[in-house]
Structure 1
Amino acid sequence: MKQFNWLTRGVKPTLAVGILTALLSGCESHQTPPMQADVVLYNGSVYTVDADMPKAQAVAIRDGKIVAVGSDADVMNITGERTQRIDLQGKMVLPAFGDAHVHPVYGGLAHARCAMHDGNSVEDYIEIARQCVAETEADRWVYGVGWMPGLFPPDGIPRKELLDEISADRPVVFRSTGGHSLWVNSKALELAGITRNTPDPYNGRIDRDPETGELLGGLQESAMALVDKHLSPPTAEDMALAIEYSLAHFNSLGITNVLDAGVEVGNDGISPTIEAYRALEAANKLQSNVEVAVKWDSNADLAQIPDLLAAAKSVQGPHISSNTLKIWLDGVIAQGTAAMLVPYADAPELRGEPTMTAVQLNEVVARFEQEGFNIMIHAIGDRAIRMALDAFAYAQAQNGVAALHHQITHAEFITPPDIKRFAELGILANFQPLWSTMDPYMQLTAKRVGPERMKSVYPANSLLQAGGEMVYGSDWSVASADPLLGIEVALTRRTPGRPDHEPLLPDEGVTLEQAIYAYTLKVAEVNQNAHRTGSVTVGKDADLVVLDQDITNVPVYDIGKTKVLLTLFRGKTVHGSVKTL
């Protein structure tokens, strides 16, 4: 490009591309000054997540696109009378964050109903439940979400008597924060027809006293369906409002790119959740990019494949897509439903069972890979993780190596031999960094699995050192979706802001650069929209976040205290105001 030296001399390559594009487009109209940016953010610390220009001072935006990135002097060359100039005064700019594991409908509904998320003790939960009973119409089941099994020692199972004391004559149901368990009162058990003689359903468990057989008040995994079928399903309006609430919440945290990790599809190929997304898209109310993962029903057979494909193909739009299949392969450690290679340390009769056989899993993964789908497998136990890796290896043997972004989400207990297989097979680990602390849930986990297996919990650094790759998701509303809290914990493996707390395998902490990448460009790659978001790069959408401090230049335990001042989605403000900068 020597013929353009007159233009590019002294200008960074990324900036030059933006200038050339805008100059050429400007020739089409005499009324619009060439290369006049709509907005310029300058005098800042721009962390681009772009290897060609890792750091910059300023960013220019036009028509929702990034048209220049570089020094203040460079970018100011393309301003004009119509340009809004925003002095960042040293504040940090990043590509807007992503989250590769959220549940917008479930989380939005949870926060609109009775929510226990803010409770820190059983006493807190009882008080919240009491308030929920008082506020729920007399003819409706009392329903809420958000309790943590780790706050119910010694086994993580809450007792029905606690809810019976609050309401003996009305059914009361609370779902755990992870969505794998229900806590119910005696009236709910009675109306659902559950007795001490009711058999455990396949892949589920009705909690009972091991000596007397008396019902305890806990329902695990598929046993939840015995009660769920009596609850009123959310309406289409409920779902749309839940999604709007969730996306606005994500915007407030600097997030504009998410993966909805599993929506149900009926046997007619119709998903009420997808219909809600489509309605919001049509009304131009989706203030985020959303990749929707259709959920595999482990209780059905291969006949569901055409319905899932039809539902996914109905989703494509400017802000929304569906190229992912979600498979739940096991449960969780606290309830003893995560599939482990050897029995649980505190319950030798348990090792957890996968939701499907290896033959079934292999067939499903290979088939959907042929259809061009990314496969996302929930696997927490080391046995489930090995099964997932085996299924991906089987699919590669059948189909060849596909240019897809398969992932194992959670990946809590990876055996040392299996760590290297992530890299060998090109499989991503979808970690939830806020889970890697010694909180009450992890303390219960340690009791359940024993000290030897605790040496391999969330081995993020080991996986990266072995050549593997990771992406971050929160599993919101199971945990906070705040990426800044997640980044801090990814580095420290401690409770945010608490250097005095015991760390969880501190050697498995990652670098700041690795954590930011896993929350930005890697999410975009997983969502298959990295060509237009995930980094501060000329030509991409102006999806940006402005922070009140430079997280590359503060003590690590202050990262989680960082405030999001402004979030832009395609150049439009979706959180905050330039007046606050």
Structure 2
Amino acid sequence: MSRVFARAAVLALSITVAAPALAAPQAGADMILTNARVYTVEARQPWAEAVAIEDGRIVAVGSAAEVGKLRDADTRVVDLGGRLVLPAFGDAHVHPLFGGLSRSRCPLQDGKTIADYQALIAKCVAAAPGDGAIYGVGWSDALFPPNGIPRKELLDAVTTTRPLIFESVGGHTYWLNSKALAVANITRDTKDPPNGTIDRDPATGEPVGSLQEAAMELVRHLIPPPSAAEIQNSILYVADHFNRLGIVSWNDAGVDFGDDGGSAMVDAYKAVMDAGKLTSHVTVSLKWKNERGMDQLPSLLRAAERANALGIPTNTVKFYVDGVIPQKTAYMLAPYQNSDERGAPQIAPEVLKQAMVAIDARGMHGFFHAIGDGAVRLSLDAIEAARKANGAKPTWHMVTHLNVVDPADQPRFARLSTFAQFQPTWASWYDYMDLTVAAIGPERAKYIYPAGSIVRAGGKLAYGADWPVGSANPLEGIEVAITRRTAGDPNARPLLPDEGVSLKEAIASHTINVAIVNGFDKITGSIAAGKSADLVVLDRNIFDLPVYQISGTKVLLTLFEGKPVAGAWADVDAGSGR
């Protein structure tokens, strides 16, 4: 029997350790990974010893003896020396362009103090002669207590002759110097735009140097737009960075599109894919334009149709329902602590419901940025409206961030078949959490990132780092998801430790659950016959480690469609050879 016909015969078989031998005749697999601890994330067969790969796909999973029957003279056998094998990880929330530009245009991520930021910016100004604006990303809200709002005087100390525009690590705030305010003609008389705030001195009304949410658009024209090459390089940077972390699936969470359905980001993915350099399964979420209403639906649908025709899966719409808590732009059910403010939704609730009903009816998925408990409720209400209007449909929906979730809404994720998407490492951002607690008060602070409660109520989690806002390292995320403490530090202050999840839940939420929300669960996310050979080999077995050592575990090898995209066979082969 030819190898092609043999592959077709065994493609649907997943050999369990106790399974009978495969029926003869057999042909050899291209490769067998053996002498391993294989955690499949498959309930029917969670553990195995070996995996056979043919043409980039898994053709058998089971005991070393049974899978070894697929070996012939041309089969490469890799002895993993007892190492742990997991499905390659996925990420349900990534911003590749924002992340790529944040590393190429005056990055501030390495700064730990305001003085660090000033020194980094001064170097960028010196390296770019002329009078154009200097743009960068990466300052932390936590360095500007009590509300995360920086002032222009700190940037004026660097230069008053060049516009300086620096975006927060979370992407919700611009920090400007006086020159940028002047060039953009932003004065005490400039009105706040819808869904945006010009931060002002309470005594004088003068702009202090920070713009929130939609107010950022007032200076966007001063920032040079990225070139096609910059966009492609951002994708390549992310692919390489993620592959090294064991990630081969991601969701680009908020891509812009034009009225004609065109998208520079989709075109860049197509170019990278055609060059054979897109070493991950990638899906795109189209960004709902809050400044418009239902009139944008036809162009959104054209954009999705065009992207899918180009081979870039695009079946999700990203809604930005609110802002962030420290600056009080997140939408809360009740006013902030010691305040009459409660924030405001950035999308009218009825428009949000109409949009959800419309896209759900077309088999598309909703993806909601919701940080305040009010925004979470609005998101779930919109999903509920779609479920009632359209009946049971094979659509998943997802709410991300969930900084605060009212107890009444926690069981709704299960009832509405909606995934809760947390950024697990955020539970260890103590300075940011302190700003959050100060803003919302101690009672609501009991419901920050309630992952464990949502799981206990029957809900499912799908993790997304919101990279570059947070670390994309899945092993760090797995540990913090369990401990709710700083990775590697058993003595760190925990954030609501009862909201931690189990190791198996954390792994599933970085693998198969991400594959489901990314639309790739038929081809990746678990180790089963017929799926793409997307695997990671770790240097230690995280099931046997003290939990505070999980984050220190290294990915030795990442396979995408059966080929190494990070690491090498020599890093893992204990020496069995061919």
Give the TM-score of the pair, scaled to structure 1. Answer: 0.94
- 2:386 corresponding residue in structure 1: 395
Question: Which of 42, 49, 66 does residue 41 from structure 2 map onto?
Answer: 49
Question: Residues 358 and 79 from structure 1, CA distance in 2 versus in 1: closer, same or farther, beyond 3 angstroms?
Answer: same
CA contact (8 A) 1:18 1:67 kept: no
CA drift at 1:14: 4.9
Which residue identity is paired with 1:243? I
CA drift at 1:440: 0.9
- 2:374 corresponding residue in structure 1: 383
1:549-564 to 2 correspondences below 5 Å:
549-564=540-555
1:293-312 to 2 correspondences below 5 Å:
293-312=285-304
Contiguous gaps of at least 5 residues in structure 1: 1-6, 25-33
CA contact (8 A) 2:331 2:371 kept: yes
Question: Which of 463, 468, 479 does residue 472 from structure 1 map onto?
Answer: 463
CA drift at 1:310: 1.1
CA contact (8 A) 1:170 1:187 kept: yes
CA contact (8 A) 2:21 2:66 kept: no
CA drift at 1:59: 1.1
CA contact (8 A) 1:15 1:538 kept: no
Question: Which of 547, 550, 557 does residue 566 from structure 1 map onto?
Answer: 557
Residues 210-243 of structure 1 deviation map (CA, whole Å, 9 limit, x = unaligned): 1121221111000000011221110111111111
Which residue identity is paired with 2:562? G
CA contact (8 A) 2:60 2:67 kept: yes
Q: Distance in 2 between matches of 1:17 and 1:296?
A: 50
Question: Residues 240 and 438 from structure 1, CA distance in 2 versus in 1: closer, same or farther, beyond 3 angstroms?
Answer: closer
Question: Which of 154, 166, 170 does residue 162 from structure 1 map onto?
Answer: 154
Question: Which of 475, 481, 491 does residue 482 from structure 2 map onto?
Answer: 491
- 1:27 corresponding residue in structure 2: none
1:126-137 to 2 correspondences below 5 Å:
126-137=118-129
CA drift at 1:349: 3.2
- What is the DSSP-based 3-state SS (H/G/I as helix, E as strand, rest coil) of the residue aligned with 1:211? coil
- 1:185 corresponding residue in structure 2: 177
Question: Residues 527 and 19 from structure 1, CA distance in 2 versus in 1: closer, same or farther, beyond 3 angstroms?
Answer: farther
CA contact (8 A) 2:398 2:419 kept: yes
- 1:265 corresponding residue in structure 2: 257
Q: Distance in 2 between matches of 1:506 and 1:35?
A: 51
- 1:516 corresponding residue in structure 2: 507
CA contact (8 A) 2:248 2:279 kept: yes
Q: Distance in 2 between matches of 1:19 and 1:263?
A: 49
Which residue identity is paired with 1:219? L
- 1:98 corresponding residue in structure 2: 90
Question: Which of 218, 224, 227 does residue 219 from structure 2 map onto?
Answer: 227
Which residue identity is paired with 2:118? I
- What is the DSSP-based 3-state SS (H/G/I as helix, E as strand, rest coil) of the residue aligned with 1:213? coil
Which residue identity is paired with 1:89? G
Q: Distance in 1 between matches of 2:27 and 2:342?
A: 63
- 1:75 corresponding residue in structure 2: 67
CA contact (8 A) 2:400 2:422 kept: yes
CA drift at 1:316: 2.5
CA contact (8 A) 1:334 1:444 kept: yes
1:42-441 to 2 correspondences below 5 Å:
42-316=34-308, 320-346=312-338, 348-441=339-432
Question: Residues 134 and 56 from structure 1, CA distance in 2 versus in 1: closer, same or farther, beyond 3 angstroms?
Answer: same
Contiguous gaps of at least 5 residues in structure 2: 1-8, 573-578
CA contact (8 A) 1:288 1:319 kept: no
Which residue identity is paired with 1:216? V
Question: Residues 332 and 17 from structure 1, CA distance in 2 versus in 1: closer, same or farther, beyond 3 angstroms?
Answer: farther
- What is the aligned-residue RMSD (CA, Å)? 1.9
CA contact (8 A) 1:362 1:392 kept: yes
Question: Residues 224 and 95 from structure 1, CA distance in 2 versus in 1: closer, same or farther, beyond 3 angstroms?
Answer: same
CA drift at 1:62: 1.1
CA drift at 1:319: 6.7
CA contact (8 A) 1:17 1:538 kept: no
CA drift at 1:426: 1.4
CA contact (8 A) 2:15 2:66 kept: no
CA drift at 1:438: 4.7
Question: Residues 336 and 226 from structure 1, CA distance in 2 versus in 1: closer, same or farther, beyond 3 angstroms?
Answer: same
CA contact (8 A) 1:19 1:67 kept: no
CA drift at 1:179: 0.4
Q: Distance in 2 between matches of 1:537 and 1:289?
A: 17
CA drift at 1:171: 0.7
- 1:456 corresponding residue in structure 2: 447
Q: Distance in 1 between matches of 2:559 and 2:65?
A: 23
Q: Distance in 2 between matches of 1:157 and 1:168?
A: 20
Q: Share of identical aligned residues, percent? A: 49
Number of matched pairs: 562
CA contact (8 A) 2:15 2:61 kept: no
Which residue identity is paired with 1:188? A
CA drift at 1:283: 2.0
Of 81-90 and 425-434, the range deviating more from structure 2: 81-90
Which residue identity is paired with 2:481? A
Which residue identity is paired with 1:124? D
Q: Distance in 1 between matches of 2:271 and 2:184?
A: 34
- What is the DSSP-based 3-state SS (H/G/I as helix, E as strand, rest coil) of the residue aligned with 2:78? strand
CA contact (8 A) 1:438 1:502 kept: no
Which residue identity is paired with 2:482? L
CA drift at 1:15: 8.0
CA contact (8 A) 2:140 2:168 kept: yes
CA drift at 1:13: 3.7
CA contact (8 A) 2:316 2:366 kept: yes
Pair 1:504 & 2:509 matched: no
Q: Distance in 2 between matches of 1:319 and 1:272?
A: 15
- What is the DSSP-based 3-state SS (H/G/I as helix, E as strand, rest coil) of the residue aligned with 1:472? coil
CA drift at 1:317: 6.8
Question: Residues 304 and 20 from structure 1, CA distance in 2 versus in 1: closer, same or farther, beyond 3 angstroms?
Answer: farther
CA drift at 1:424: 1.4
Of 508-517 and 352-361, the range deviating more from structure 2: 352-361
Residues 477-505 of structure 1 deviation map (CA, whole Å, 9 limit, x = unaligned): 00010000000000000011111111000
Q: Distance in 2 between matches of 1:349 and 1:277?
A: 45
CA contact (8 A) 2:152 2:209 kept: yes
Which residue identity is paired with 2:548? Y
CA drift at 1:132: 1.7
Q: Distance in 2 between matches of 1:13 and 1:318?
A: 36
CA drift at 1:320: 3.2
Which residue identity is paired with 2:104? A
Of 264-273 and 277-286, the range deviating more from structure 2: 277-286
- 1:4 corresponding residue in structure 2: none
Q: Distance in 2 between matches of 1:122 and 1:317?
A: 47
CA drift at 1:124: 2.0
- 2:6 corresponding residue in structure 1: none
